[in-house]
Structures are given as C-alpha cells and as structure tokens.
C-alpha cells in the first residue's frame, strides 16, 4: 500500500486550533475529519491547512479555520439541532456543522457558489445539509425555526426577522459591524427574559448583501 503523505501543515492544524483555545473535542474531531483542501480553489490547495482565509469564486472568501472552529464551538451544538447558516460560500463551515447537528439549511446568494458547495457536500456524504440559493435577509416562511443560526457574512445589524427564527434557548452568532473593516462576533441567546447579547471577538467578514446575486 502506498504511504499517503499528509502535508506537514495538516499535522499542525489541530495543534494550532488547540493552542488558540479550541477545547471542544467534538469540534476538533469535525475539523480533523473535513478535508479543507476540497473547499479551496485548486490553485490554493497547498495553503488549505494554513490558518488563514482564502479567496473563492465570486469575490468571496472561505473563513480562517480558527474562526470556523471558534464560531462552531460557541454554538454549543447538539445532535438533534436544526441549524441555519447564512452564507454557504465554499460549503466548508456547513460541512463542519453537519458533523455536529441534525440538519443544516445553508443559504447562499450566488448560484455558482451554492451549486459547487452542494456538489462538494454531496460527494463528502454530508447528506444532512441542504444548500439553498436565496437571501439570508428573506428566509422562506416554510423554512421554520432553528435551534442555532450562524451568519458568516458581516451584518450592520442583526435583523429582527432573523432573531424571530430562533427557538427558545436558541443561539445565533454573527459578525456585526461596518461592511468595511472590522466587525465584532456577537452571540445572541433567546432566553425567557428576551435576547441575551454577548460580544465575543473581533473578526473580518465579507459583507452580507440583500437579494440573490444577479451575477452568477
């Protein structure tokens, strides 16, 4: 049998996530199991295991692995959860979520991205993920409510239409702030007393824009 050589950066991948404070074993296992190199542009394969964001089609980005792991950990996922992701992009974050919950609905406004993410997720056997071409600011009424919501594009404000989709006890995490520059990762928890808000860390995401993209 040929010995498959793992890139040295893949070996330090877990270590660097742990060093940066990711401690949830299930999250670490999901990060280990999902091959990030499948989700990056072919020309970037050699950089797939570095802890940095990379460009993908349509001028968008696949997030930095630490941020993916951190946001996932903050959601405190359980196996029965129904999760909504806004901003499918490459599909990488959706693949990580799919290992840790019951069902993921992921919405993307670019058809090209939605189609290629769907194909990758199918190939990897992530069959509890549904990728929808649509607008995260205008979620179909029939989609119902969610135990967890993760927004992976920068929003100036979290719309009430979105927080209304949270089940009691539900958690939403989103980068909130100006489209240009830095945003703050905000965690909202629906409690009996209302929405509890916690500011987590500073991040940089591409903007969340309204409507389905007219370009492919």
Catalytic center residues? 63
Binding mask 15-54 for ligand SAH (x = CB under 6 A): ----------------------------------------
Under rule CB under 6 A, how many of the chain's residues touch ligand SAH?
Answer: 24
Distance separating alpha carbons of residues 116 and 131, to the nearest angstrom: 10
Hey, is 123 helix, strand or coil?
helix
Label the pairing between strands 166-176 and 146-151.
Answer: parallel
Dihedral over alpha carbons 170, 175, 178, 179 (to 10 degrees): -120
One residue of 61, 72, 98, 183 binding ligand SAH per CB under 6 A: 61
One residue of 28, 38, 124, 209 binding ligand SAH per CB under 6 A: 209
Helices and strands, counts by H and E, the chain:
6, 9
One residue of 89, 170, 175, 177 binding ligand SAH per CB under 6 A: 89
State yes or no: residue 172 binds ligand SAH (CB under 6 A).
no
Distance separating alpha carbons of residues 107 and 139, to the nearest angstrom: 9
Smallest separation (angstroms) from ligand SAH to the CB of 102: 19
State yes or no: residue 108 binds ligand SAH (CB under 6 A).
yes
One residue of 87, 170, 175, 177 binding ligand SAH per CB under 6 A: 87
Distances (CA, A) of 45 to 35, 80, 152, 171: 11, 33, 22, 33
State yes or no: residue 116 binds ligand SAH (CB under 6 A).
no
Query: Residue 180 contacts by C-beta under 8 Å, 6 or more apart in sequence?
Result: none
State yes or no: residue 133 binds ligand SAH (CB under 6 A).
no
Strands (E), 77-165: 82-86, 103-108, 129-133, 146-151
State yes or no: residue 86 binds ligand SAH (CB under 6 A).
yes
Interface residues with ligand SAH (CB under 6 A)? 60-63, 86-87, 89-90, 92-93, 107-110, 113, 135-137, 152-153, 206, 208-210
């Amino acid at each position: 049998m040929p010995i498959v050589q793992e890139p040295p950066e893949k070996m330090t991948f877990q270590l660097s996530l742990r060093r940066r404070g990711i401690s949830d074993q299930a999250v670490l296992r999901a990060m280990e199991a999902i091959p990030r190199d499948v989700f990056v542009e072919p020309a970037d394969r050699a950089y797939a295991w570095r802890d940095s964001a990379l460009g993908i089609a349509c001028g968008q980005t696949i997030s930095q692995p630490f941020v993916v792991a951190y946001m996932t950990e903050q959601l405190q996922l359980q196996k029965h959860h129904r999760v909504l992701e806004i901003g499918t992009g490459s599909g990488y974050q959706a693949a990580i979520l799919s290992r840790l919950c019951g069902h993921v609905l992921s919405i993307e406004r670019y058809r090209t991205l939605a189609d290629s993410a769907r194909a990758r997720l199918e190939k990897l056997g992530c069959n509890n993920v549904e990728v929808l071409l649509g607008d995260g600011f205008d979620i179909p009424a029939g989609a119902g409510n969610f135990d967890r919501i993760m927004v992976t594009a920068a929003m100036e404000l979290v719309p009430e239409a979105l927080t209304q989709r949270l089940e009691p006890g539900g958690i939403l995490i989103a980068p909130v702030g100006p489209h240009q520059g830095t945003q703050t990762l905000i965690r909202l928890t629906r409690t009996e007393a209302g929405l509890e808000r916690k500011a987590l860390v500073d991040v940089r995401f591409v903007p969340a824009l309204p409507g389905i993209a007219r370009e492919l």
